[in-house]
Structure 1
Amino acid sequence: MGKSFEFQDNLELDQVEKNIMQFMQEDHIEYSYNSLRELLFEIKLRKNIIKGAIEMNEARHEFTIFEQARCNPNYWQLTKAGGFLLRPDVSPSDAIMDIYKNSSLYAFECATASVIIYYYATLQTLGHHIFNAYFQGLYLYSWHTDADLGLVTFYSSGFLPGDIVYFDNPDFNPQTPWFRGVNAILLDDSRFFGHGFSIKTNEKIVQVLNKQRRQGSTRSAALTSLLTRPSFSRLSALTNRQPTSIDFKIKQPFIHHNLSSISLLNYNNYIFSLGYQLF
């Protein structure tokens, strides 16, 4: 059983970290941790997710569909499906950082953007040495991720800053299927960053999606209760292990679907429909 922590004024937290803690305190869900260190790790990682989202919003990445995806060939190999495969002569940390440093060379859709932000935040939290040891062979395509990121998705009545939420547009115009929804990251001021949407309130994102519905639609787009987040405890545990003795990791197969802006739940359901198992 984890130990519950009450808010402590003597913790050395910056304003963003305090905001995250406040969200936790006000949530009706009780969050428990094996140690104070594990709690502080999660808060730091959530802060870095927010940082990565804000920096992507300020950068020059473009939103596009898989057929028109592009990347810096000095760090990534662009696959026929529109994915980015890490070059074997490049370190994972350098490649992730290049997405931010040379943002104008990159274009991708919103699920891929969410994964990139999570990798960026994980790198900022773990440091280059640990990140490079555990995140070899990266492939950026939709929700395909390294097992150590430990992505989970589920329905919840409450979100925390750094969570990925999903806005669903059930009556999207079939001529613009990338407006079927948007994966967005909750920031600590209760606004959301969605790649291609910039930083907006819940209401503003819904307004944009509603303008992209098929003719005659009577159903509004809406923020769903679906959330996605990494395994904070799993990532925290990486800091206690020797990077030179990495356990063998089962690699997930590359599953291409060519559907922009889908949720992780839909991605997982598609994988299951093909007979694959997630590890």
Structure 2
Amino acid sequence: MIKIGQSLINGETIRNQLRLNQTQLEIVERMSASQHVFSYDSLDQLKFELKLRNDIVETAKALNDSGASFASFSRSRANPAYWHLTDFGGFQLRYGVKPSDAILDIFMNGSEYAFECSTAIIIVYYRAVLQSIGARSFNRLFPAILLFDGQFDEGLGLTTQDLSKTVILPGDVLYFDNPDYNPETPEWMGENVVYVGNGFFYGHGIGIMGAADMIDNLNTLRKPGARRSAYLMDRVARPDFASLARYSTDSMP
């Protein structure tokens, strides 16, 4: 269910008021069909979430096509013109570099980059937010970016919810756990993914595929004699859409 102010709004009303692409249509349909209430102070706030979710999906696809490689933290690499590679395999924004330029370079010069799936998710978030609020607001909001294993600026406002309290929507981040991973390759203990819609997920180093194929791929990366299958965990991560909406002057593409 979708609630704007004090009123419940059906999906058809929203579809009639807004020009939505296929990703955004799926979002509205899943929200409307859910027993859980998605509440917004205004239509503009909902419009911003639809835009940012779409930008997360498009950014995930762009990162998949960027040429950036998968690597463990010890083998991570980044363009030294924009990033300082830390001792623990993170990317620290260089002094004097605009955050927006550094994030966009990952997508323009992907072959110079290699990182784990958790870092990929943070990169997706930053680039999508950049697309949604513009470079000026982005650079003011995120002046000192560190890209590393789930580290994120509080401005993103990331939270995790149990799927018993919500429904999976395009732009959500989930996790496939691989409990019997091979200890010689701990980077495959699981895969952070973006749900890109229509039953498909993007995972850095694996690609874009359905849940069954994602599980099959992880199952090939288990220790000898493994008996427990990889599986999709029942939790979902999301940024604080309402807070980020304050930095946007135009909520729709």
TM-score, normalised with respect to structure 1 = 0.83
Contact 1:5–1:32 (CA under 8 A) maintained in structure 2: no
Aligned partner of residue 234 in structure 2, secondary structure = strand
Q: Give the aligned length.
A: 240
Structure 1 position 222 matched with structure 2 position 231: yes
CA contact (8 A) 2:23 2:170 kept: no
Report the 3-state secondary structure (helix = DSSP H, G, I; strand = E; otherwise coil) of the residue aligned with 2:23.
helix
Provide the rounded CA distance (Å) in 1 between the counterparts of 2:230 and 2:215.
6
| Contact 2:74 2:88 (C-alpha < 8 Å) held by counterparts | yes
More deviation, 98-107/230-239? 230-239
Residue 120 of structure 1 is matched in structure 2 by: 127
Q: Which residue pairs with 1:251 in the alignment?
A: none
Asked whether the equivalents of residues 132 and 248 of structure 2 are also in contact (C-alpha less than 8 Å), the reply is: no
Structure 2 counterpart of 1:60, one-letter code: G
Secondary structure, counterpart of 2:161 in structure 1: strand
Equivalent residue number for residue 28 of structure 2: 21
Q: 1:154: Cα distance to partner? A: 2.5
- Say if 2:44 is the partner of 1:37: yes
Q: Does 1:171 align with 2:180?
A: yes
Q: What is the identity, as a one-letter code, of the residue corresponding to 1:169?
A: N
1:218 Cα deviation from its structure 2 partner? 1.6
Equivalent of 2:106 in 93, 99, 102: 99
* Local SS of the residue matching 2:100: helix
Q: Which moved more, 1:12-21 or 1:148-157?
A: 12-21
Distance 1:101 1:216 in 2: 42
Q: Give the distance between the partners of 1:185 and 1:133, measured in 2 at CA.
A: 26
| Equivalent AA in structure 2 for residue 96 of structure 1 | I
How far off its partner does 1:196 sit? 0.5
RMSD over aligned Cα atoms: 1.4
Percentage of pairs with the same residue: 41
- Per-residue CA distance 1:83-142 (angstroms, 9 max, x = gap): 111111110100100010111000000010000000000000000111011110001011
1:47 to 2:54 alignment? yes
**In the alignment, is the contact (CA less than 8 A) between 2:4 and 2:43 conserved in 1?**
no
Distance in 2 between residues matched to 1:82 and 1:91, nearest whole Å? 21
Q: Which runs of 5+ in 2 are unaligned?
A: none
Higher strand share: 2
Q: Judge conservation of contact 1:184–1:193 (CA < 8 Å) in 2.
A: yes
